[in-house]
């Protein structure tokens, strides 16, 4: 054997020896740890959510009662005004001229009455002529009063306290009582009304949940509602459902509700939108973290820890989803242990090392199936 062959054999022996050492050093892999949670029944608060349109307690359209040019606008958009505050001044020159003519007619009719009265007293003419003259005087006074009132209508004041809306007309614009658009809208937003609708299924659930022989009794039994603003924050004032329409709209299949919120700081504005959250308490429901449940062929599945710490997949039924939890209505029993994280790494009959996960308060969303309203769920305080 030459030197080259001997050298190659030595290298091969060294490589085999090093591989053998690496295999000896590699530790045997055992069951991996996974966080688990024991299923327990608890009370929860379900928040049903409904899209709402906000309006002021009073939205008063300001319209002119007479025709005329806008002479002066005394307010600006978004300005807070008081009841009786001057808003607009319309040009009333034509009405002034008509008023002068009408006033002259009143004077002429009065002169005629004064002339005929002594003649009647002396029985020179019949009393019928005097009564006719008096009727003409009353007619002249009525015409003058109507014109004078129209002149007063040229000064437009606010009928309520509130906030000025848009101003579609400018000074010099010709306006009349037949204009499609109002001069402006004054919205009283001390109390803001939130209008929202329930479909027939949601309405039936509402009527079954809140007891009472009359609509007023059911509304009184309903809890206070909260309002989510467009930025996702919750309005700091709670509201109360004030009215419920007694009929279902046959076209839309919905019934309109109205909730009212105090608005002391003027945060809410008429015309904006929000989400009404109606809390409904549920007793003895099972909450499972959302991370524990995954979908397989359209079915909700989770892993249950069985004997020998081996996991088994289980199909479950839920009444909705949430940011953190599902409400499980079927497929689980109280006291069973479920894996709450890492489900994608598991398979049936795989052994794990269970690690108890500290249960954190959760807020969940449980929408009624196939309904437009969303539903959130939060564990109730016991």
Q: In this predicted model, what pLDDT tens digit does every residue of 215-269 receive, in sequence order?
A: 999 999 999 999 999 999 999 999 999 999 989 999 999 999 999 999 998 899 8
CB 213 within 8 A of CB 221: no
- Res 182: pLDDT: 94
The secondary structure of the chain, three-state, reads: CCHHHHHHHHHHHHHHHHHHHHHHHCCCCCCEEEEEEECCEEEEEEEEEEEEEEEEEEEEEECCCCCEEEEEECCCCCCEECCCCEEEEECCHHHHHHHHHHHHHHHHHHHHHHHHHHHHHCCCCCHHHHHHHHHHHHHHHHHHHHHHHHHHHCEEECCCCEEECCCCCCCCCEECCCCCCCCEEEEEEEEEEEEEEEEHHHHHHHHHHCCCCCHHHHHHHCCCEEEECCCCCECCCCEEEEEECCCCCCCCCEEEEEEEEECCCCCCCCCCEEEEEEEEEEEEEEEEEHHHCEEECCEEEEEEECHHHEEEEEECEECCCCCCEEEEEECCCCCCEEECCCHHHCCCCCEEEEEECCCCCCCEECCCCCCCCEEEEEECCC
**Residue 73: which of 61, 82, 85, 59 has the closest Cα?**
85
Strand pairing class (317-318; 325-330)? antiparallel
Residue 188 · residue 249 · CB < 8 Å: no
pLDDT at 351 over 50: yes
Confidence of residue 168 (pLDDT cuts 50, 70, 90): very high
Mean pLDDT of all residues in the chain?
A: 82
Residue 253 has phi, psi (to 5 degrees) of 70, 25
121 burial via Cβ count (<10 Å: 0-12, 13-18, 19+): exposed
What is the structure's pLDDT at 58?
A: 84
Region 349-378: mean pLDDT is: 58
- In sequence order, the β-bridge partners of residue 196 are 257
pLDDT at residue number 378: 52
Distance from C-alpha of 288 to C-alpha of 292, rounded to nearest angstrom: 7
pLDDT digits (tens, 9 = 90+) for 130-143: 788 788 888 878 77
| Angle, vertex CA 357, rays to CA 353 and CA 360, nearest 5 | 170
- How far is C-alpha 350 from the chain's CA centre? 48
pLDDT digits (tens, 9 = 90+) for 182-198: 999 998 889 999 999 99
Q: What is the pLDDT of residue 4?
A: 54
- Span 288-314, pLDDT tens digits: 888 899 988 889 999 999 999 999 999
pTM for the predicted model, two decimal places: 0.61
- Over residues 18-39, mean pLDDT: 70
Distance CA 296, CA 195 (A): 40
In whole angstroms, give the CA distance from residue 273 to residue 195.
9
Per-residue pLDDT, 227: 96
Give the model's pLDDT for residue 184: 94
pLDDT tens, position by position, 46-78: 788 999 999 988 889 999 888 888 989 999 998
Instruction: Give the pLDDT mean for 30-48.
Output: 86
Q: Pairing state of beta strands 41-62 and 80-81?
A: unpaired
| Percent over 70 (pLDDT), the chain | 80
Contacts of 224 (CB under 8 A, 6+ apart): 238, 239, 240, 279
* Residue-level pLDDT at 12: 59
- Residue 237 has, within 13 A of its CA and on its CB side, a CA count of 17
**What pLDDT sits at residue 367?**
42
- How large a percentage of the chain has pLDDT more than 90? 43
């Amino acid at each position: 054997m030459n030197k080259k062959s001997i050298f190659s054999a030595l290298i091969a022996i060294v490589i085999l020896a090093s591989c053998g050492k690496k295999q000896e050093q590699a530790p045997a892999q055992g069951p991996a740890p996974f966080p688990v949670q024991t299923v327990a029944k608890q009370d929860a608060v379900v928040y049903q959510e409904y899209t709402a349109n906000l309006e002021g307690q009073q939205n008063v359209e300001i319209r002119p009662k007479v025709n005329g040019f806008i002479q002066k606008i005394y307010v600006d958009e978004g300005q807070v005004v008081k009841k009786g505050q001057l808003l607009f001044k319309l040009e009333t020159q034509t009405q002034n001229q008509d008023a002068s003519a009408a006033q002259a007619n009143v004077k002429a009719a009065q002169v005629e009455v004064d002339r005929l009265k002594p003649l009647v007293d002396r029985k020179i003419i019949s009393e019928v002529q005097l009564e006719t003259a008096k009727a003409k005087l009353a007619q002249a006074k009525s015409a003058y009063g109507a014109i004078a009132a129209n002149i007063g209508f040229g000064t437009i004041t606010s009928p309520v306290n509130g906030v000025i809306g848009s101003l579609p007309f400018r000074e010099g614009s010709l306006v009349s009582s037949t204009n499609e658009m109002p001069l402006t809208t004054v919205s009283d937003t001390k109390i803001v009304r939130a209008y929202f609708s329930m479909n027939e299924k949601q309405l039936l659930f509402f009527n079954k949940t809140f007891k009472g022989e009359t609509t007023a009794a059911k509304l009184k039994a309903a809890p206070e509602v909260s309002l989510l603003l467009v930025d996702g924050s919750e309005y700091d004032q709670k509201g109360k459902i004030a009215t419920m329409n007694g009929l279902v709209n046959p076209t839309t299949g919905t019934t309109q509700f109205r909730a009212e919120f105090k608005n002391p700081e003027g945060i809410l504005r008429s015309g904006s939108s929000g989400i009404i959250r109606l809390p409904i308490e549920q007793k003895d429901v099972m909450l499972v973290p959302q991370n524990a449940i995954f979908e397989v062929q359209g079915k909700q599945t989770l892993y249950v820890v069985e004997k020998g710490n081996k996991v088994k997949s289980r199909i479950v039924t839920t009444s909705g989803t949430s940011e953190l939890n599902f409400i499980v209505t079927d497929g689980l029993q109280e006291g069973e242990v479920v894996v709450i994280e890492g489900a994608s790494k598991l398979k049936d009959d795989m052994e794990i090392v269970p690690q108890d996960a500290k249960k954190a308060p959760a807020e969940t969303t449980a929408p009624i199936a196939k309904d437009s309203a969303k539903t959130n769920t939060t564990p109730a305080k016991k």
